[in-house]
Amino acid sequence: MQRSSTVDKSLNILEATRDAGEKGRGVRELSRLLSINPATVHNLAWTLSYRGYLSQNPKTRRFVLGPACQQLASSQSPWRDLAEKAGPLVRQCQRELDESIMLAALHGNEVVSLVYIPSTQALRVDEPEVMGDRAYGTAVGKMLLSSLSEPALQAYLRAHPPQAFMPRTLATPEAIRKELDRIRKRGYAETRDELCLGVSAMAVLVKPQAHAGIVAGLGASAPTIRMDARLKQTTLTVLRRFAGLIDRADESQAK
């Protein structure tokens, strides 16, 4: 049976990155080490990054293994357990709002999607699986960042220096801290044209009682043109209700 050269190259990139440890490897180094064209390494590495199997340090441009590798290695991880138990409720939430719904959690400096159900509407929002370097531009990301201690937030900001994706992006540590303080006080996060023009979102925290120490975020994204004051209030009400249901359902299923 013929082997796939693309799969081979992708696995070689993952293994070479793993062997480098926390230092990671850059595109040119991987190209030289593996004798693969730099353009091919770049394309494969970015695909692996989009899927969460690699993460790139924005300062050094070097790649390290991403959270999806650890999730894959640990099939019984509490995250996977939470995703399985919360999945039906996330789907119910999506059906009720008919907007794109995501349940996500923090893994180090990454925001990782656990369950994602896109809207069935023609005009909808599609989310990437990993968004650590853009968390401060998303509602679910900001909600999760608001749960961090100050040292953990400092570590996140060092790993992902803020940048302005859009004119309304929170592009400085000071602006991000101020926003996170507001989120803690009001209990929800929202964005409007902060990561992408025409995309708005809302999110709340999920604290599954059967998984102590795990904090997740439940968010809904919609085209800004639909996210008026009425939909915002409806979305917040529904998200809060399902966040509570996920908490309690997770606890009851664990007993």
* Measured distance CA(19)–CA(217) in Å, rounded: 33
* Measured distance CA(227)–CA(159) in Å, rounded: 32
pLDDT for 74 beyond 60: no
Q: What pTM value is reported for the model? A: 0.70
When pLDDT is averaged across residues 207-233 and rounded to a whole number, the result is 87
pLDDT tens sequence across 6-50 = 888 999 999 899 888 878 899 999 999 999 999 999 999 989 988
pLDDT tens sequence across 138-152 = 999 999 999 999 998
Q: Which residue reads 């025409």 in tokens?
A: 198
Using alpha carbons only, give the angle 45, 69, 109 rounded to the nearest 5 degrees: 80
pLDDT for 250 beyond 60: no
* Measured distance CA(49)–CA(10) in Å, rounded: 11
CB 200 within 8 A of CB 231: no
Pick from 49, 87, 53: nearest CA to 70: 53
CB 123 within 8 A of CB 223: yes
Beta bridge mates, 110 = 107
More confident position, 75 or 164? 164
pLDDT for the residue numbered 254: 41
When pLDDT is averaged across residues 233-251 and rounded to a whole number, the result is 89
CB 189 within 8 A of CB 239: no
More confident position, 81 or 163? 163
pLDDT for 156 beyond 60: yes
pLDDT for the residue numbered 106: 81
pLDDT for 132 beyond 80: no
pLDDT for 5 beyond 60: yes
pLDDT for the residue numbered 127: 64
pLDDT for the residue numbered 77: 63
Burial pattern 88-100, b for ≥16 Cβ within 10 A else e, equals ebbeebbeebebb
Query: What residue ranges define each of the domains in the chain, with the CATH number in brackets?
Result: 5-65 (1.10.10.10), 78-254 (3.30.450.40)
Mean pLDDT for the chain overall: 87
pLDDT band at 169 (very low <50, low <70, confident <90, very high): very high
pLDDT for the residue numbered 181: 97
Q: How far is CA 230 from CA 72, 125, 203, in A?
A: 40, 19, 16
pLDDT for 84 beyond 90: no
pLDDT for the residue numbered 51: 84
pLDDT band at 130 (very low <50, low <70, confident <90, very high): low
pLDDT for 194 beyond 90: yes
Pick from 48, 54, 47, 5: nearest CA to 25: 54
